[in-house]
Structure 1
Amino acid sequence: MTPLQFSLKVLLVLTLVLLNGFFVAAEFALVRIRETQLDTLVAKGHRRAKVARHIVANLNSFLSATQLGITMASLGLGWVGEPLFTALLSPLLVSLHVESEALRHSISFAVGFSALTFLHITAGELAPKWTAIQKPLPLSLWVAQPLKWFYLASFPFNWLLNHTAQWLLRQAGLGPVSAAGRAHSEEELRLLLTTAQQHAGASTLGRDVVLNALDLRRRVAREVMRPRQEIVALDTAGSMTACMEVAERSRYSRFPLCEGGDLDKTLGVVHIKDLYPMRLKARSGADLLPVARKLIYVPETARLEKLLQLFLERKLHLAIVVDEYGGTMGMVTLENI
């Protein structure tokens, strides 16, 4: 082997290791990246993020491309590396008086195999894998376009690999992994939030708020409402002095305004910041009607998830909970939810 051939083979070995590392990094980065991270960049017009988003949306196909690249690079590394180490070690073994050609070849193969395996695992597998796990977003953006080119260039073979793998899965009674399969279940989310609170120093309150949010779709207004007997309301028939005393004694910020004090005849909601300016103008609770805000009525079985959405859409903070006959059962606020 001439010096030029030796140098070219060394360069080819290093190139194959780097290619293997590229495909390993691409595989782990694209599996680990969150779609929401890419969506934010796509909304800003980031071109590479659009390519990466397309890859994540068709993950199964592109993962087969990374596996093809890893396999080709690994096989090529063995094919090029073994003769290289044989040519490198044979003169040394001859000088050490190893006369048997078969023994020289066995020693060269063992040393070459060990060295290539070490190089392949460290530089071609572990280092890119750990980098991708720690920095999935920048690596996903970096590998997206080259991986797309490789996928298009090897499309026929990738198509064959995908359909063959899917056929094998069907024979085993399994199906291909869908995007839904990558989503976390509610139990997993609870575990992740608890773990994050323990290791990242997140506040217990913040964790509880998020955990409670997961219960919204299962809970109803009846479970969190303030019962009828605990509602503090303003009476249209009462004097303004009496209304002010009720507000100051309760220390609430919003009060249902009821006709004749009847909770089944609620006319609106009076906010404390509207009540105080009226204390010198109004003589009775009836005079508070102009500043009373809109009120909504919801059934006791209303889902908290829908109720929260309604509050946010209409910019409301309070609703009256009614039974099947329209009678007031209680009151639910944004704070209760």
Structure 2
Amino acid sequence: MLIALSGCFSGSETALMMLNRYRLRHLARSGHQGARRAERLLQRPDRLIGLILLGNNFVNILASAVATLIALRLGGEGAIAASTGLLTLAILIFAEVTPKTLAALRPERLAFPAAFVLAPLLRFCYPLVWIINCITNTLLRLLGAHPEDAGNTNLSREDLRVVVNEAGAMIPHRHQKMLLNILDLEKVEVDDIMVPRSEIVGIDLDDSWSEILEQIAGSQYTRMPVYQGSFDAVQGLLHVRQVLSSMLRSTLTREELSANLSEPYFIPEGTPLPVQLLNFQAKRRRIGLVVDEYGEILGLITLEDILEEIVGEFTTDPAAAIQDVYPQPDGSFLVDGSASVRELNRLLKWNMPTSGPKTLNGLILEHLEAIPEPGTSLLLDDYPVTIIQTERHKVKTARIQPRRRRRRRMQPTE
């Protein structure tokens, strides 16, 4: 009977400590009585462990005393050694290994019934448990541990990543990827995903009226920035649909075009994407211009750009998702120098460095510290890169080979 009680204490300890705290919290909030009692016990694990070990050690010592008395009566002092060995083997098998292994495999089936017994037992033995905890907690504080903080089980971003990755079939792979992208969103700034200033498609009011009408009619965008001469002199943002009816009637004028412009929305460089997403929502905006500390426009970012960081590109062909990437028969890629390094990494499953320059051209120039000539080859983080074409002071086209595998050095053998 004492060995059975010892097994109950050992199994309940392992089962309660093996419980998934977040599933336990969900069951408790759903009204599960056993989960509620177990959650209350685990709020102060020092008291729970003190109670279980108090009971476990008590029954084990009592079992040892009883076994010694039985051995003396049956075989005298010579049988004490045999009884000690047999009792140790019995406790190890029936009171430790078997119940703890069973509890580790099925913690909920053992922990919830045990909670109904341990809760009143803790109230009954509380004075003794309190004395034990006072001594042990004092020793723990001297070692820098605080038992009061044991109930704090908040997950960090890295912990959440592990939970999502290990969800398996419980969460579809597509949803897992979206959740991981949300967790990584805090690390990305507007500078990383903006359309560079040199690639922004806008309307210059200094152009001829026929060129402006032709640009509006052939535009693939619903919103376009409008500027006067230089892009730094932005006049506003034009919603193309607001002037389509006038264009169809051939009554659109410069004055009407200017009257339909909305105030430009400026975004400071370095703004994290989660912050900008909330700003877009609060200001009811879908497009903004990124400016530096001097007020000069660096690029353009849209709400769709941020959403694509979460759900992925709105295309099924990774290579087609970047217009500046052209796969070659030999497995290499011809890449425009203005291509975003982050987009290359994400869509082509590469791992080029992203802590510095944002474009392939900037990465090459930083690595070489000079403007390269066509035919120049270099190794960017184990990716062989060959300069195909340059234009003025930048790399226009480069060929990138698949990443080389680092060879291990063979140790000489005798």
Same fold (TM over 0.5): yes
Quote the residue 1:175 is aligned against. Answer: 145
Q: Alignment partner of 1:175: what SS?
A: coil
> 25, 48, 73: which one pairs with 1:65?
48
Q: 1:15 to 1:169 in 2, by over 3 A?
A: closer
**CA–CA distance in structure 2, aligned partners of residues 113 and 226 of structure 1:** 73
Q: Does 1:258 align with 2:258?
A: no
Quote the residue 1:318 is aligned against. Answer: 287
Higher helix fraction (1 or 2): 1
Quote the residue 2:218 is aligned against. Answer: 245
How far does residue 123 in structure 1 lie from its aligned partner after superposition?
3.3
Q: Which moved more, 1:316-325 or 1:45-54?
A: 45-54
Q: 1:171 to 1:13 in 2, by over 3 A?
A: closer
1:12-91 to structure 2, matched below 5 A, reads 13-29=3-19, 32-34=20-22, 37=23, 40=26, 54-56=40-42, 58=43, 61-80=44-63, 83=66
1:173-212 to structure 2, matched below 5 A, reads 174-176=144-146, 178=149, 182-183=153-154, 192=162, 196=166, 206-207=176-177
Higher strand fraction (1 or 2): 2
Q: Which moved more, 1:320-329 or 1:197-206?
A: 197-206
Quote the residue 1:156 is aligned against. Answer: 127
Q: Does 1:303 align with 2:268?
A: no
Higher relative contact order (CA closer than 8 Å, sequence separation 6+): 1
**CA–CA distance in structure 2, aligned partners of residues 200 and 305 of structure 1:** 27
**CA–CA distance in structure 2, aligned partners of residues 195 and 317 of structure 1:** 32
What does the per-residue CA deviation read over 1:228-253, in whole Å, with 9 as the maximum and x for residues that have no partner?
A: 22112356766554313022xxxx5x
Q: Does 1:107 align with 2:82?
A: yes
Q: 1:119 to 1:39 in 2, by over 3 A?
A: closer
Number of residue pairs matched? 299
Using the size of structure 1 for normalisation, the TM-score is 0.65
Q: Which amino acid aligns with 2:89?
A: S
Q: Does 1:166 align with 2:137?
A: yes
Quote the residue 1:3 is aligned against. Answer: none
Q: 1:201 to 1:41 in 2, by over 3 A?
A: closer
Does the 8 Å contact 1:318/1:334 carry over to 2? yes
Is there any run of 5+ residues in structure 1 with no aligned partner, and where? 1-9, 95-99
Identity of aligned residues (%): 19
What does the per-residue CA deviation read over 1:64-103, in whole Å, with 9 as the maximum and x for residues that have no partner?
A: 323421341343145247636975x899xx7xxxxx5223
> 116, 124, 127: which one pairs with 2:102?
127
**CA–CA distance in structure 1, aligned partners of residues 3 and 93 of structure 2:** 13
What does the per-residue CA deviation read over 1:7-33, in whole Å, with 9 as the maximum and x for residues that have no partner?
A: xxx4x543442243223311222xx42
What does the per-residue CA deviation read over 1:28-52, in whole Å, with 9 as the maximum and x for residues that have no partner?
A: 22xx423xx4555566566665555
Does the 8 Å contact 1:222/1:301 carry over to 2? yes
Q: Which moved more, 1:212-221 or 1:15-24?
A: 212-221
CA RMSD of aligned residues (A): 4.6
How far does residue 167 in structure 1 lie from its aligned partner after superposition?
1.8
Q: Does 1:331 align with 2:331?
A: no
Does the 8 Å contact 1:62/1:151 carry over to 2? no
Does the 8 Å contact 1:82/1:109 carry over to 2? no
Does the 8 Å contact 1:23/1:67 carry over to 2? no
